[in-house]
Every structure is written in C-alpha cells, then in structure tokens.
C-alpha cells in the first residue's frame, strides 16, 4: 500500500482567518526542512495575515470561509505527494518532515498526526494533553490541532475533508480508520492555549465532549455550529 516516500514532497496547508499574530511562527516552524511547500489558504482576513505570509515567500491563495473548504482548496493547489494540515496557531517540531516520511512508510499506515503540547503552564492543561494522548493512541482519533498528515492519493480517494461547518477533522479520521492504520508520532506539535484560556479549561473540555456526543447522535453539524454562536458558549 505504501509507496517509497523517502524524498516525497510535503505540502503544508495552513487555513487562516485573521491570524496575523500567529502565522509567522507557524510558517517559521516549517523550517529547516527538505522538499516542502507551504500553502496559506486565507478566507478573507481583515488584518495583516496575507501580507505577512506573502512577505515570507509562501504561496497564498484565497478561499471561501470554512476550514474544510479552505483545506480542500489547499489540497487542490498542492503539488506534493504528502499533505500536512497545520492550524495557524500551531508549530511543528524539529525534523517533522523526516518523521512524517518515515511514518507513512510503515506497513498499512495511510495517515497520522503528532502528540499535542499546549503553550501555557498549569496542571489543567497537562491533564488535557494527557487526555489527547490517550484518545489518539488508544482510539487512533487525532484532531486537527495535532497536524494531520496523509498521502495525497488517499486524501483524494476518500473525497477530502467533508464540507461540514464543524467536525470535519473527526469525520475525516473516521473515514480513514475504515481504510487502515493512523499513526501518532511521539514528537509533539505546540499549539496555542488561547481557546482553553478564553473559555476556561473545564468549560472548553465540556463543550468539546458535548459536540462529539451530539454529532454521534446524529445532530446536524449546522445545528452544532450554531451553538458556538450562542452567548452561553462564547462568554468567559
């Protein structure tokens, strides 16, 4: 199933919307590396996101809003054999390119992600990291903030990210699980603590679990997404 990917090109796709405070660090984390391209897919930022990305020499394309739509647009523009989807507030570990190529050459592996570290102190966030590690390794269910990677052939085979307003990463991984193995690299990406700090660790974790349960019970992603727009989910 696995072709020789020793020197395969990696296309790093970063969906953005008003990420001027994060995009430079995200792009910087892609270097040094070998045979990669970086594609920033912007959904109409009103800040300096696009200007910063362009000044760093990466490919910037414009897209309609929506993370799934943006990542699919990036995949269409990508010229690499491997696709790596990176959130704008997440930084890659050193040597990520070699780690990814090695992981995808393991028998039966079609996709993967990294362990997760959160860039703030506190036992609550360490507990979150532990929970992510357990979920990822035991159930092979990484989420988008763990920098999901996949061969372009398999990505196209499963139809890319489903065009959902939320849970697109959950659904993509669920589809991949039906095909073969998803590997979790021991090295960690470093992601921003902003969403946990904004709403609180307990509330953020509770909302995440409610969303997953609702989705599994068949509640539409559109309705779930609307919950985030209600004041009770947005207040600190």
Query: What's the mean per-residue pLDDT of the chain?
Result: 90
Query: Is residue 236 over pLDDT 50?
Result: no
CB proximity list for 223: less than 8 A, separation 6 or greater: 214
**8 A C-beta contact, residue 143 and residue 170:** yes
Q: How far apart are CA 1 and CA 179, in angstroms?
A: 11
pLDDT digits (tens, 9 = 90+) for 127-136: 999 999 999 9
DSSP, res 47: S
Shared domain for 83 and 142, answered yes or no, is yes
> Do 168 and 209 share a domain, yes or no?
no
| Core vs surface per residue 71-89: b (16+ CB within 10 A) or e | bbbbbeebebbbbbbbbbb
CA distance 109 to 72: 21
1 vs 49, which has greater pLDDT?
Answer: 49
Q: Do 101 and 207 share a domain, yes or no?
A: no
Whether residues 114 and 221 share a domain: the answer is no
Domain of 31, CATH number, reads: 3.90.550.10
Residues 234 and 144 grouped into a single domain? no
How many angstroms from the chain centroid is the CA of residue 196? 17
Report the candidate in 30, 89, 82, 34 with the shortest Cα–Cα distance to residue 59: 30
% of the chain at pLDDT higher than 90: 70
**97 plus 61 within the same structural domain:** yes
Residue 115 pLDDT more than 90?
Answer: yes
Alpha-carbon gap, residue 128 to 39, rounded angstroms? 30
Q: How confident is the model at residue 231 (pLDDT cuts 50, 70, 90)?
A: very low
Question: What share of the chain in percent tops pLDDT 70?
Answer: 94
25 preceded by a cis bond (ω within 30 of 0): no
Pairwise CA distance, residues 167 & 214, whole Å: 11
* Cα→Cα distances 90→95, 144, 178, 208, Å: 15, 10, 28, 19
- 83: in domain: yes
Predicted pLDDT of residue 203: 81
- Residue 232 scores a pLDDT above 50: no
Nearest to 87 by CA among 159, 25, 6: 25
In a domain, 3, yes or no: no
**Residue-level pLDDT at 209:** 78
Dump pLDDT digits (tens) for 41-76.
999 999 999 999 999 999 999 999 999 999 999 999
Answer whether residue 181 shows pLDDT above 80.
Answer: yes
Pair (151, 222) in one structural domain: no
Global pTM value? 0.89
Same domain, 164 and 219: no
Mean pLDDT confidence for 99-126: 94
Residue 1 lies in a domain: no
Model confidence band, residue 197 (pLDDT cutoffs 50, 70, 90): confident
pLDDT at res. 84? 98
Q: Which contacts (CB < 8 Å, 24+ apart) does range 154-159 have?
A: 154/110, 154/111, 154/179, 155/75, 155/83, 156/75
Number of compact structural domains in the chain: 2
State the pLDDT confidence band at 158, using cuts at 50, 70 and 90: very high
- 185 shares its domain with 212: no
Structural domain of 169: 10-192
């Amino acid at each position: 199933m696995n072709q020789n990917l020793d020197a395969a090109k990696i296309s790093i796709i970063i969906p953005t919307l008003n990420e001027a405070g994060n995009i430079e660090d995200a792009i910087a984390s892609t270097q040094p590396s070998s045979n990669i391209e970086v594609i920033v897919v912007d959904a109409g930022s009103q800040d300096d996101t696009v200007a910063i990305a362009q000044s760093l020499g990466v490919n910037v394309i414009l897209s309609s809003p929506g993370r799934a739509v943006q990542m699919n647009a990036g995949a269409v523009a990508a010229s690499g054999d491997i696709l790596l989807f990176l959130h704008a507030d997440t930084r890659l570990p050193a040597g990520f390119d070699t780690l990814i190529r090695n992981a995808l050459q393991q028998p039966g592996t079609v996709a993967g992600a990294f362990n997760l570290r959160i860039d703030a102190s506190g036992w609550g966030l360490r507990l979150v990291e532990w929970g992510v590690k357990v979920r990822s390794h035991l159930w092979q269910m990484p989420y988008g903030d763990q920098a999901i990677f996949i061969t372009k052939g398999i990505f196209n085979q499963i139809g890319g990210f489903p065009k959902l307003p939320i849970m697109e990463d959950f659904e993509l991984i669920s589809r991949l699980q039906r095909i073969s193995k998803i590997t979790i690299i021991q090295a960690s990406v470093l992601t921003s603590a902003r969403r946990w700090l904004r709403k609180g660790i307990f509330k953020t974790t509770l909302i995440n679990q409610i969303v997953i349960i609702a989705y599994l019970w068949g509640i539409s992603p559109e309705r779930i997404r609307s919950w985030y727009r209600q004041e009770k989910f947005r207040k600190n």
